[in-house]
């Protein structure tokens, strides 16, 4: 397994400085320079930050595939400036991170992922950013933040749900997913709750297996 490094930075955004952490293979050569990834965290008014365990599991999943990945704090969270904006300004935060990451890896295609509130932001971001190759939505908050009002995503996507989710209705999410084009690849975890306690290793393993096939890395 390749060594990795994490670098923390403050970058410019419309709301002020954003706190970001880039996790990438160590050294000058990136194992897979074809992709870079951004992971969005859950609701900041309910304790969500870039240090959430599902978020860091997603980052490690991308890292296992040799893909540089960024997690970041939305405006008003941690050391990020600004104020929470109900999922609207947070899409601008995501766009700022994407622009910064694109400058570091100009030839790379973008992968977006988000958990809970962050899935809503990632879903809306996928509609606005031009170079998104794949989208991963974990426990997406269907019916909130506007992203689930769309009838399609502009890229292939993967849906991850715990069937014992106590905060997001799994049945409602699956019914919504059936209406979309393209249809998602579904990772259904029968025993997992919203925060995937006790199932994070399984989540990482299944996601890496699926994305390796989807992105033709395996």
- Residue 14 belongs to domain with CATH number: 3.40.50.1820
**199 pLDDT exceeds 90?**
yes
**1 pLDDT exceeds 50?**
no
State the CB neighbour count (10 A cutoff) for residue 211: 25
**What is the DSSP-derived secondary structure letter of residue 152?**
B
Helices (H), the chain: 53-64, 89-104, 117-128, 170-178, 200-214
Q: The domain containing residue 66 runs over which residues? A: 4-214
pLDDT tens string 44-72? 999 999 999 999 999 999 999 999 999 99
**30 pLDDT exceeds 60?**
no
Residue 209 bridge partners (DSSP) = none
pLDDT tens string 65-99? 999 999 999 999 999 999 999 999 999 999 999 99
**Is there a contact between 135 and 122 (Cβ–Cβ < 8 Å)?**
yes
pLDDT of residue 4: 83
Q: How many domains does the chain have?
A: 1
**3 pLDDT exceeds 90?**
no
**What is the DSSP-derived secondary structure letter of residue 33?**
T
């Amino acid at each position: 397994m390749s060594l990795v490094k994490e670098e923390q930075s403050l970058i410019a955004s419309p709301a002020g400085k954003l706190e970001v952490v880039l996790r990438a293979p160590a050294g000058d050569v990136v194992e897979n320079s074809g992709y870079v990834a951004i992971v969005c965290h859950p609701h900041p008014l309910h304790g969500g930050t870039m240090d959430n365990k599902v978020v860091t599991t997603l980052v490690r999943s991308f890292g296992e595939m040799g893909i540089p990945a960024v997690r970041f704090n939305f405006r008003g969270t941690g050391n990020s400036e600004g104020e929470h904006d109900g999922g609207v300004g947070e899409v601008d935060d995501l766009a700022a991170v994407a622009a910064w990451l694109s400058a570091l890896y100009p030839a790379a295609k973008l992968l977006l992922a988000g958990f809970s509130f962050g899935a809503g932001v990632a879903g809306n971001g996928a509609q606005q950013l031009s170079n998104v190759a794949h989208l991963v939505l974990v426990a997406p908050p269907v019916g909130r933040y506007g992203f689930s009002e769309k009838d399609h995503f502009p890229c292939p996507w993967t849906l991850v749900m715990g069937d014992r989710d106590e905060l997001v209705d799994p049945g409602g999410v699956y019914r919504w997913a059936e209406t979309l084009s393209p249809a998602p690849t579904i990772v259904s975890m029968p025993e997992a709750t919203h925060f995937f306690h006790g199932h994070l290793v399984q989540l990482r393993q299944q996601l890496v297996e699926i994305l390796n096939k989807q992105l033709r890395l395996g």
